[in-house]
Amino acid sequence: MADSEHGNSQIENIQEKILDYIREKGYDYNSILPKEDEMAQELGVSRVVVREAYSGLRSLGFIETKRKKGTIFIKPKVFGVLKYVIQSGLLDKDSIKDLYELRLILEIGMADLVVENRTDEKIAELEELVVKEEQCDNAADLKNIDIQFHTVLYSMTGNRSLEYFQTLLHQLFALYTPKPSGWLKNEMMTHRTLVALLKKGDSELFRSAMRIHLENQYAKKEANLSGAKQ
């Protein structure tokens, strides 16, 4: 066990040294890195250690191997590893809860970006969804429209990481409290009202409105999470 832990620690140490090497040598994205034996000589370790370190960096999204070219330094995806963790279906209940809460926090916190980058085209998309929602009485369809509405808001931020995060957590975004019959007259902050406030261009007002809109998601958090797949 100790040998295994020591080995893992060594590999992680070499991974860090390789990243330091890439930075110090000024490698650009899509540059070809030294071969395993060359890197091993550069770092003073065995080729086997470098091979394992390269494998780890590959899984983390820092490098990729191309036939006839070799090992390439690539632009890492911010949520690259998170993608595999979520798609594994092996997240524990506490981790799912953390991500659910993070999702709600982000939706409130991104108000400035949404307001700043709003366009007539995006607002028209939201208004079209509002009309569909108000004419719909099917719970499953209402949930899909709800998700589409919030997806458009994420796209309005102009932040690629936020958009990618939203697509990764699609299953969690589906954990919305189902809207009961006659939901519209009891809604504290409807999508229609959100769009109207968004048009005003006041980020503080829009943020407050989003907080009220998501209040039910906070209140029903435990019930929603109980439907999450473990």
pLDDT score for 93? 87
Phi-psi region of 11 (alpha: psi -120 to 50; beta: other; left: phi over 0): alpha
- pLDDT digit string, tens, across residues 144-176: 999 899 999 999 999 988 998 888 877 667 766
pLDDT score for 143? 87
Backbone angles phi, psi at 32, to 5 degrees: -90, 125
pLDDT score for 177? 65
Judged by DSSP in three states, 9 sits in helix
Span 37-55, average pLDDT? 96
Question: d(Cα 31, Cα 20) in Å, to the nearest integer?
Answer: 15
pLDDT score for 52? 95
Say yes or no to pLDDT of 184 above 80. no
Alpha carbon 157 to chain centroid distance? 13
pLDDT score for 216? 83
Is the model's pTM score more than 0.75? yes
